């Protein structure tokens, strides 16, 4: 079941505030930028960069993901490793709110999201 409309509005508000804090200055956003999208029960944060051999093509690189676990009413936090798979973020595997998710990603205590 997809995230409900009221939840979606709350998610958008929290994520837009996160982007306001995390995005690079406007003059370099054509070189590197941060975005997000909502897919079914998940929020995916990604960086965007030009493709190395064709700068006109923008590529997305996944950074962090929160998936809503409806049975537990929690968000599971995942990070995208070099093996091209999502892995649970062990220091904070679950949080209660989207705001807590963005706080964990922004803090990046173990340098998994932003390096």
Residue 112 is assigned to a structural domain of this protein: no
Residue 46 is assigned to a structural domain of this protein: yes
Tokens of 59: 């590529």
Residue 113 is assigned to a structural domain of this protein: no
Q: Is the pLDDT of residue 3 over 60?
A: yes
Distance CA 113, CA 46 (A): 10
Strand segments, DSSP code E, in 1-115 are 33-39, 42-51, 54-69, 74-80, 86-88, 94-95
- The whole domain housing 95 covers 5-107
Residue 12 is assigned to a structural domain of this protein: yes
**How many structural domains comprise the chain?**
1
Distance CA 15, CA 78 (A): 16
State pLDDT tens for residues 28-79. Answer: 999 999 999 999 899 999 999 999 999 999 999 999 999 999 999 999 999 9
Residue 114 is assigned to a structural domain of this protein: no
Output b/e per residue, 80-100; b: 16+ Cβ within 10 A: beeeeebeebeebebbeebbb
Residue 115 is assigned to a structural domain of this protein: no
Asked if 49 contacts 41 with a C-beta cutoff of 8 angstroms, the reply is no
Stated pTM of the model: 0.91
The residue count of the chain comes to 115
């Amino acid at each position: 079941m997809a995230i409900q409309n009221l939840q979606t509005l709350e998610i958008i508000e929290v994520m837009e505030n996160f982007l306001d804090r995390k995005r690079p200055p406007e003059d370099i956003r054509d070189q590197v930028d941060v975005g997000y999208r909502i897919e079914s029960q998940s929020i995916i944060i990604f960086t965007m960069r030009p493709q190395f051999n064709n700068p006109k093509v923008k590529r997305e690189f996944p950074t962090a993901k929160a998936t809503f676990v409806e049975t537990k009413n929690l968000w599971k936090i995942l990070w995208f490793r070099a093996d091209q798979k999502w892995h649970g973020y062990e220091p904070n595997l679950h949080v209660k709110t989207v705001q807590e998710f963005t706080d964990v990603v922004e803090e990046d205590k173990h340098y998994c999201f932003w390096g």
